[in-house]
C-alpha cells in the first residue's frame, strides 16, 4: 500500500533496473569514491556530487530515492543543503554523515528534515557497514510519510456525513453505488449487517442524498423501546390513552413528515406493532394510540437489522408480508473482516478526526502497526476500529502509532487469550488458526496440524482476514 517518495513528489521512483538510486555528496574524492563503491556492492545505483550546489543541479534533472551528504561541504553546508531540499515528501530522504565531534549538528539536521545520520569513524570506516541499512530505513520512513499524506488528503477530501464510507474495496464501492440509486426514489430500504458496520450511517447518507434532505431524519430504535411504549413512540398518543398519558404526544412517524424515518433493529419489533407498521407501510396512515383521527404522513421508511429476517419469518417470529414490504430494496453492509483494504483509510479518517479534537500531533501509523490492524478480525467492525483509534490518539506519545501502542490482544494472540479476550468460538478459532500459521513453515503443514483440508484453511483465512 505504500507509495514511493518520488511518486509523492512527482518523480519516477527508481532507476530502470529497479534498484534504489542514491546521490552521494562529499567534497573529499577518496571518501566519495569509497562510499560509492560500498553502496554499489549492496546493489544501489550511485550518483556523485562534490558540493551541495552540484547536488541541487543533479536533482533538477535526476530522480533519486535517497541522498547521503557529508556535513562539511564547500559553500553551502550539508545542513543548509538538507534545509534547502526540504523533508519528505517534498524532497528525497537524506542521511547526514558527520564527524566524531558533530553530534550537535546531527541533532540539528534531524530537526531540519534529515531521516538518519551516521558518524564517519575515520580511519576504520566502519560506518559503511550500517550505511545501506540507514538508507533503506530512510526510504521506508519517507514512503510512510508520503502514504500518510496521501491518505490524510483522501479522507479529508471525502468530507461530509458519508466520509465513514470511504474505502477502496469493491464491496464498499457497490454499497455507495446502490445508495446513489436508491436515494433518487422513495422506495422502502432494508439495511442488513452486523453490529457496528454503519447501518445508521448508510440510512443518513440515503436521506442526505435524496430530495428529502431538507426534511427531518428521525431515528427509532425498536430494540430499545419497551413493547408497551413502542406504538406510542412510533404513532403518538392522546391524553388519557393509558395511565400516565396526561398530554398528547406526537409520534416519530408524524415528526418525520416530509423526511425519513429510520427504524433500527426492526427484527426486534413485537407482533402487535408489526401489524400496525404493515398498515403504515401500505397506506402511510395511522391513528395515535387512544385517538380516532386518521393521520396521513409523507415519509420515507428505511429499516435496518443485524438479525436474519428470513430465519425469523421461517420460525413464525416475523410477519412475511411485513418482511416483503420492508425488503423492497435490500442493502447489505459487509463486515470489516470481508473488506480489509478499507481498514487503513478508515483508520486515517478517525485519526484525523481525533487528532484535531484532542489536539495531539499524531501523524499516522508505522508499517508494523498497519500490518496488525489489517490482519485483525474486527468483531466489532467499524465502531470497534473507531473506539480503538480514539484510544490510540489519546495514549500515543510519538508522531507515529507503532505496534507496541496497540493493545496486546491485536498482535499477541496468545497473550490476548491469557487476558481473557476470548468471548466467543469465532475468536477462539481465529486466534488458533493465526497461531498455527505463524508456527508452521507452510500452509500445508498448518492445515495438517489443525486437522482440516487446505481448502478449508484457505476459506477460514479469507473469513478472518488472515494472511501467511
Phi, psi of 226 (to 5 degrees): -60, 150
Q: For position 218, which CATH number holds? A: 3.40.50.300
Is residue 467 very low, low, confident or very high in pLDDT (cuts 50, 70, 90)? low
Clarify whether residues 37 and 166 are in a common domain. Answer: no
Number of domains comprising the chain: 4
Domain boundary residue, one of 155, 181, 207: 155
Of 29-43, 310-324, 355-369, 384-398, the least confident: 355-369
Domain boundary residue, one of 120, 155, 190: 155
Tens digit of pLDDT for each residue in 90-121? 789 999 888 765 667 767 877 778 888 888 87
Nearest-angstrom CA–CA distance, 49 and 111: 24
Clarify whether residues 132 and 40 are in a common domain. Answer: yes
Clarify whether residues 317 and 228 are in a common domain. Answer: yes
What is the arithmetic mean of pLDDT over 400-408?
87
The whole-number pLDDT of residue 416 equals 43
Clarify whether residues 134 and 18 are in a common domain. Answer: yes
What proportion of the chain, given as a percentage, has pLDDT over 90? 41
pLDDT of 336 strictly over 80: yes
Contact assessment for residue 431 and residue 377, using Cβ atoms and an 8 Å cutoff: no
Clarify whether residues 330 and 350 are in a common domain. Answer: no
Q: For position 457, which CATH number holds? A: 1.10.10
pLDDT of 363 strictly over 90: no
The whole-number pLDDT of residue 191 equals 97
Tens digit of pLDDT for each residue in 183-212? 999 999 999 999 999 999 999 999 999 999
Q: For position 102, which CATH number holds? A: 3.40.50.2300
| CA torsion through residues 226, 306, 234, 256, sign | positive
Tens digit of pLDDT for each residue in 408-424? 878 765 544 443 444 55
Clarify whether residues 442 and 465 are in a common domain. Answer: yes
- Please provide the average confidence, as pLDDT, over all residues in the chain: 83
The whole-number pLDDT of residue 148 equals 62
Clarify whether residues 132 and 266 are in a common domain. Answer: no
Clarify whether residues 166 and 145 are in a common domain. Answer: no
The whole-number pLDDT of residue 153 equals 60
Clarify whether residues 203 and 278 are in a common domain. Answer: yes
What is the arithmetic mean of pLDDT over 452-467?
78
Q: Residue 435 sits in which domain range? A: 412-468
Clarify whether residues 42 and 64 are in a common domain. Answer: yes
Clarify whether residues 125 and 11 are in a common domain. Answer: yes
More confident residue, 242 or 12: 242
More confident residue, 346 or 225: 346
Domain boundary residue, one of 389, 405, 421: 405
Is residue 243 very low, low, confident or very high in pLDDT (cuts 50, 70, 90)? confident
Tens digit of pLDDT for each residue in 250-272? 999 999 999 999 999 999 999 88
The whole-number pLDDT of residue 109 equals 78
Clarify whether residues 421 and 273 are in a common domain. Answer: no
The whole-number pLDDT of residue 3 equals 31
Of 21-30, 70-79, 410-419, the least confident: 410-419
Amino acid at each position: 500500500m505504500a507509495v514511493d517518495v518520488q511518486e509523492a513528489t512527482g518523480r519516477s521512483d527508481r532507476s530502470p533496473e529497479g534498484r534504489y538510486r542514491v546521490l552521494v555528496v562529499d567534497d573529499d574524492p577518496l571518501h566519495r569514491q569509497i562510499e560509492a563503491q560500498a553502496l554499489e556492492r549492496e546493489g544501489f545505483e550511485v550518483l556523485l556530487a562534490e558540493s551541495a550546489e552540484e547536488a541541487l543541479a543533479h536533482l533538477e534533472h535526476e530522480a533519486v530515492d535517497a541522498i547521503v551528504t557529508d556535513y562539511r561541504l564547500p559553500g553551502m553546508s550539508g545542513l543548509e543543503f538538507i534545509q534547502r531540499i526540504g523533508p519528505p515528501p517534498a524532497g528525497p530522504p537524506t542521511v547526514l554523515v558527520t564527524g566524531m565531534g558533530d553530534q550537535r549538528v546531527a541533532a540539528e539536521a534531524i530537526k531540519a528534515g534529515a531521516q538518519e545520520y551516521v558518524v564517519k569513524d575515520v580511519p576504520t570506516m566502519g560506518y559503511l557497514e550500517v550505511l545501506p541499512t540507514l538508507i533503506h530505513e530512510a526510504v521506508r520512513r519517507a514512503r510512510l510519510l508520503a502514504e500518510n499524506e496521501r491518505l490524510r488528503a483522501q479522507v479529508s477530501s471525502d468530507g461530509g456525513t458519508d466520509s465513514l464510507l470511504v474505502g477502496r474495496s469493491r464491496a464498499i464501492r457497490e454499497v455507495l453505488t446502490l445508495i446513489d440509486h436508491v436515494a433518487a426514489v422513495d422506495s422502502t430500504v432494508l439495511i442488513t449487517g452486523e453490529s457496528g458496520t454503519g447501518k445508521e450511517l448508510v440510512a443518513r447518507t440515503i436521506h442526505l442524498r435524496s430530495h428529502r434532505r431538507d426534511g427531518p431524519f428521525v431515528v427509532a430504535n425498536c430494540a430499545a423501546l419497551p413493547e408497551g411504549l413502542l406504538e406510542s413512540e412510533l404513532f403518538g398518543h392522546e391524553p388519557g390513552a393509558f395511565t400516565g398519558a396526561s398530554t398528547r404526544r406526537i409520534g416519530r412517524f408524524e415528526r418525520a413528515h416530509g423526511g425519513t424515518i429510520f427504524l433500527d433493529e426492526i427484527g426486534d419489533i413485537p407482533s402487535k406493532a408489526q401489524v400496525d407498521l404493515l398498515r403504515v407501510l401500505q397506506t402511510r396512515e395511522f391513528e395515535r394510540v387512544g385517538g380516532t383521527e386518521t393521520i396521513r404522513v409523507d415519509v420515507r421508511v428505511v429499516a435496518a437489522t443485524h438479525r436474519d429476517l428470513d430465519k425469523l419469518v421461517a420460525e413464525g417470529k416475523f410477519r412475511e408480508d411485513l418482511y416483503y414490504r420492508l425488503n423492497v430494496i435490500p442493502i447489505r453492509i459487509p463486515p470489516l473482516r470481508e473488506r480489509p483494504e478499507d481498514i487503513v483509510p478508515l483508520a486515517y479518517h478517525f485519526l484525523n478526526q481525533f487528532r484535531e479534537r484532542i489536539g495531539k500531533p499524531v501523524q499516522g501509523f508505522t508499517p508494523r502497526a498497519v500490518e496488525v490492524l489489517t490482519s485483525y478480525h474486527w468483531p466489532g467492525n467499524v465502531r470497534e476500529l473507531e473506539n480503538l483509534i480514539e484510544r490510540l490518539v489519546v495514549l500515543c506519545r510519538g508522531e507515529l502509532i507503532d505496534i507496541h501502542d496497540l493493545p496486546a490482544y491485536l498482535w499477541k494472540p496468545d497473550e490476548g487469550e491469557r487476558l481473557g479476550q476470548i468471548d466467543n468460538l469465532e475468536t477462539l478459532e481465529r486466534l488458533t488458526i493465526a497461531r498455527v500459521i505463524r508456527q508452521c513453515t507452510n500452509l500445508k503443514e498448518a492445515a495438517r496440524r489443525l486437522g482440516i483440508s487446505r481448502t478449508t484453511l484457505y476459506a477460514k483465512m479469507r473469513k478472518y482476514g488472515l494472511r501467511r
